[in-house]
Amino acid sequence: MRFSSLTQRIAGDGAAAWEIHYRALAMLEEGRDVLLLSVGDPDFDTPAPIVQAAVASLEAGNTHYADVRGKRSLREAIARRHQQRSGQAVTADQVTVLAGAQCALFCVAQCVLEPGDEVIVAEPMYVTYEAVFGACGAKVVPVPVRPEHGFRVQPEDVAARITPRTRALALNSPHNPSGASLPRSTWEALAELCIAHDLWLISDEVYSELLFEGEHISPASLPGMAERTATLNSLSKSHAMTGWRVGWVVGSPALSGHLENLALCMLYGSPDFIQDAAVAALERPLPELDGMREAYRQRRDLVCERLAHCSGLRALKPDGGMFVMVDIRETGLSAQAFADRLLDQHGVSVLAGEAFGPSAAGHIRLGLVLGAEPLGEACRRIALCASELMEAQRNA
């Protein structure tokens, strides 16, 4: 049977990047000793008040169709939190609730991009970006963000890639995979480019509440940017709610209306009881959130300290997020070969930097998703793997 060309546009390197993770899961099921650092799934439980709110909503019978755009109480809570953190004045009518930030990205792309449009994306990029933009026929134009620049995008590099076909700029800060965040001066320069060339800005801010150093800037709050910015966020990382699939878009009322139409024919709304839990997540005092953020910061510091003087390795300290990039180029292996060896011989699962783009070649990404003791053991094994390779080079 014949399939549509869409199936080719959503396949490729991004989908293949997870193969090592699936292989590690299979090894775990076999009872093998594997430390899983290849996926950004928090190891913390969802805070109990959120779970209790979902249970109470279920027991109250809230299992029917909900508002397609998202129930008003949740959209109001999102608007309040967004305004509090960004300074951008927004209302519930500018919020669309969707099934996670991944779904939010897909929906925004469908609503603002046409086949043949170009979207400039910082590279290395999250592994699904290319497929998401390819699904609507748009072309990804990568703008390399180099390790020597701390994996931060340079506005002059963006400007050099703008053409008459450029329709949007897509960035996330803190950045996945590197954890780098963009300062206000960079966002202001990028905003000038968006306004001058009439571009959409797709701002992925899912790690904004896991920022350890610096100030998070939401670019929609800058002059002239509210109408042309789609801000994506979710509860997945900040509240340890990856499996709940709660995300949203903050945009103009016009964009929100189009997103609602797309949600109508694709989702028909998120489950009511999950939305009630999300309201609790946003409105109740949850000291667990500060605890999780501090734990990630301590884990980041632990990894950087443990790998600081290891032969063949250089950890790049991130500003935020839940990952650390490690430069393994001195070992002589590609990142994929190193990751395969690390899993097969030392039982640690990480993602190769090449999965995120050529600018991350020679780097691995490890997730801060284990406690201090197992994470320290993972660092020991990573250092051992690198040491073996460096010793082999000396003996060659």
Domain extent listing, the chain: 6-45+287-395, 48-283
Measuring CA to CA, which residue among 343, 386, 129 is closest to residue 232?
A: 129
Rounded to 10 deg, the angle between the 335-346 and 19-29 helix axes is: 0
Q: Give the span between the Cα atoms of 165 and 260, in whole angstroms.
A: 27
User: So what's the pLDDT on residue 393?
Assistant: 85
**Confidence (pLDDT) at 148:** 81
pLDDT value of position 13: 63
Question: Superfamily assignment of 6-45+287-395 in CATH?
Answer: Aspartate Aminotransferase, domain 1 (3.90.1150.10)
Which candidate, 294, 295, 259, places its Cα nearest to that of 75? 259
Q: What is the pLDDT of residue 6?
A: 87
**pTM for the structure as a whole:** 0.93
Task: State the pLDDT at residue 142.
Answer: 96
Q: What is the pLDDT of residue 183?
A: 95
Query: Which positions of the chain have pLDDT values less than 50?
Result: none
Give the per-residue pLDDT at 48. 97
The pLDDT value given to residue 129: 92
> Is the Cβ–Cβ distance between 52 and 186 less than 8 Å?
no
How much is the pLDDT for 14? Answer: 59
DSSP bridge pairs for 233: 248
Q: What is the side-by-side strand order in the sheet with 118-123? A: 95-98, 247-250, 229-234, 200-204, 166-172, 118-123, 139-144
Supply the pLDDT for residue 184.
96
- Alpha-carbon distance 23 to 316, whole Å? 26
User: Which CATH topology does 48-283 take?
Assistant: Aspartate Aminotransferase; domain 2 (3.40.640)
